[in-house]
């Protein structure tokens, strides 16, 4: 039997995890693997870019988990700087453009993996392409930003404006602070970290103030102003104008699905490809998709959402590669867990925010508690705020948000598992969580929050 050919579009986490796992299960005699990557790098940690820019991570290559050469040593025919420009589903072939030579050619496939990732949202505003305005989506972006910082005058105050106050925005705010910049974060919304409810976002706002990061809420960017050399000088918003030596865009991403849409593959309400539990594109037995270009089932809301996170992309790749390699795997969905930090401030969330719950027809109660991440008498005990949301009547956990200091964020994992298991907040009050004074008060803050939420469920009656 001739080898089947697997074609992979996209050489980062999902695509190359799929290729690697398929290769682990099937040798080159049974499966030929061709992978196309339009950029210069494979299998790197985009999530690490803020720490490289901020100087915590020394070298760009530290972020690369596996180089093109390493993939090729595993019998993967990896074609770098080669973009797939057309997908012919019926003909089972893709058209590729070699960006170096400019040549195009068709390659047939028996099985296809679409892992085209996401692209940063770049509003079409005047000056967005000016020198000194940078996205931080790819390693190339990060390198361009670092080169741009090197070119700046070193005397006098240096001002950075970060556009967007989501997790990329706040992580880049820390990075620029570490680089010695005065940092202003321009936030279109009511409070930073719109992935939290506004009451918890306010705590982030106050903490950012304390760290010396200025956050301006309700500030939608209208224009980037430039100097005679074409370089950014100011950022104009409907709320005022802010001087800037450099501008970092951290305003989120959307699924990169132009190719798949053009080929008639199904996309969901958030613009991502729709797959089944085995990560096959809906309606197509020989096409898989994973990573930042797909929508995933939100297990709490019962509908799909788009979550661009390396940890999901890696799991998708693992599942896809297992299934293509003759094994078995599924990706049941997410509960929406995210953690981030700004200096010693830690921010975490999982499950639904209040507005998410409302949007899917759930009625709920909330409770917010303040505790400490260690026993109050133990050195380094610091405030930690936990907000918990539970369904009315049933008391089923719907979501948890945490804002605190060192040792706070990863406690959200307890809630992530409880959400996955469909636990009620009453059940959570009995959880046997690790206790010792350096790690927790005798009542873990998550348990304190659960107890208060139980009271809220009971108090809310029917």
Residues known to be catalytic:
47
- With CB under 8 A as the contact rule, which of the stretches 26-34, 139-147, 281-289, 375-383 interacts with a copy of itself? 375-383
Residue 147's CB: how many other CB atoms inside 10 A?
10
Cβ burial 253-267 (10 Å sphere, 16+ → b, else e): bbbbbebbeebebbb
Q: Which of 225, 278, 431, 460 is in the footprint of a copy of itself by CB under 8 A? A: 431
Q: Which of 438, 459, 87, 67 is nearest to 259 (CA)?
A: 87
- Binding segment (CB under 8 A) for a copy of itself, from list 45-53, 122-130, 137-145, 231-239: 45-53
- Binders of a copy of itself among residues 163 to 192 (CB under 8 A) are 167, 171
- 159 vs 374, beta carbon nearer a copy of itself: 374
Residue 216 or 433: the one with the smaller Cβ distance to a copy of itself is 433
Q: What's the closest the beta carbon of residue 13 comes to a copy of itself, in angstroms?
A: 7
Collapsing DSSP states into helix, strand and coil, what is residue 238?
coil
Query: How many residues of this chain interact with a copy of itself, rule: CB under 8 A?
Result: 63
Under rule CB under 8 A, residue 435 binds a copy of itself: yes
Q: Binding to a copy of itself (CB under 8 A): which residues in 1-40? A: 13
Site for a copy of itself in 317-346 (CB under 8 A): 330-332, 334-341
Place of tokens 């820390």: 174
Tokens read off for 291: 């990573």
Q: Are 87 and 286 in contact (CB under 8 A)?
A: no
Stretch 221-280 residues interacting with a copy of itself (CB under 8 A): none
Closest among 343, 404, 346 to 178, alpha carbons compared? 343
Figure out which of the listed residues 112, 176, 183, 412 binds a copy of itself, where binding follows CB under 8 A: 412
Give CA–CA dist 242/223, Å, rounded: 11
Rg (CA), the chain: 24
Binding status of residue 421 toward a copy of itself by CB under 8 A: yes
User: What is the strand order of the sheet 31-37 is part of?
Assistant: 77-80, 31-37, 4-9, 111-114, 287-289
Report if residue 128 touches a copy of itself, rule: CB under 8 A: no
Q: Which helix (H) or strand (E) holds 230?
A: none
Map tokens 């910049």 to a residue.
181
Decide whether 43 or 233 has the Cβ nearer to a copy of itself: 43
Interface with a copy of itself (CB under 8 A): 13, 45, 47-48, 51, 56-57, 62-63, 167, 171, 309-312, 314-315, 330-332, 334-341, 348, 350, 375, 377-379, 407, 409-414, 416-418, 420-421, 423, 427, 429-440, 442-444
């Amino acid at each position: 039997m001739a080898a089947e050919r697997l074609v992979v579009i996209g050489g980062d986490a999902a695509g190359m995890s799929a290729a690697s796992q398929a290769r682990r299960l099937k040798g080159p005699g049974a499966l030929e693997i061709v992978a196309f990557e339009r950029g210069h790098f494979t299998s790197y940690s985009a999530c690490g870019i803020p720490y490289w820019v901020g100087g915590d991570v020394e070298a760009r290559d530290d972020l690369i988990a596996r180089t093109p050469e390493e993939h090729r040593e595993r019998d993967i025919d990896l074609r770098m700087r080669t973009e797939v420009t057309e997908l012919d589903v019926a003909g089972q072939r893709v058209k590729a453009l070699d960006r170096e030579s400019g040549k195009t050619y068709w390659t047939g496939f028996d099985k296809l993996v679409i892992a085209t990732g996401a692209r940063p949202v770049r509003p079409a505003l005047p000056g967005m392409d000016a020198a000194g305005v940078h996205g931080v989506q790819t390693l190339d972006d990060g390198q361009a930003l670092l080169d741009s910082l090197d070119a700046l005058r070193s005397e006098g105050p240096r001002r950075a404006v970060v556009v967007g106050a989501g997790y990329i925005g706040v992580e880049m705010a820390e990075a620029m602070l570490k680089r010695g910049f005065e940092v202003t974060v321009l936030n279109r919304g009511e409070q930073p970290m719109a992935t939290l409810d506004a009451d918890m976002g306010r705590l982030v706002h106050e903490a950012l103030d304390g760290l010396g990061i200025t956050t301006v809420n309700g500030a939608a960017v209208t224009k980037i102003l430039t100097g005679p050399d074409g370089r950014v000088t100011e950022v104009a918003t409907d709320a005022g104008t802010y001087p800037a030596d450099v501008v970092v865009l951290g305003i989120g991403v959307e699924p990169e699905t132009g190719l798949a849409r053009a080929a008639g593959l199904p996309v969901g309400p958030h613009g991502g490809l729709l797959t089944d539990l085995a990560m096959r594109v809906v309606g197509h037995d020989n096409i898989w998709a994973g990573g930042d270009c797909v929508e995933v089932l939100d297990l709490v809301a019962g509908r799909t959402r788009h979550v661009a996170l390396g940890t999901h992309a890696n799991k998708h790749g693992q599942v896809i590669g297992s299934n293509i390699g003759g094994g078995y795997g599924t990706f049941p969905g997410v509960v929406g867990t995210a953690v981030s930090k700004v200096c010693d401030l830690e921010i975490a969330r999982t499950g639904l925010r209040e507005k998410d719950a409302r949007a899917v027809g759930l009625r709920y109660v909330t409770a917010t508690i303040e505790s400490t991440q260690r026993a109050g008498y133990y050195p380094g005990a610091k405030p930690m705020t936990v907000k918990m949301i539970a369904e009315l009547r049933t008391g089923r956990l719907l979501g948890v948000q945490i804002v605190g200091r060192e040792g706070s964020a990863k406690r959200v994992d307890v809630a992530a598992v409880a959400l996955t298991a469909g636990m009620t907040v009453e059940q959570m009050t009995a959880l046997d969580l690790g206790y010792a004074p350096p790690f927790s008060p005798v009542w873990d803050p998550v348990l304190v929050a659960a107890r208060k939420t139980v009271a809220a469920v009971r108090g809310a009656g029917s």
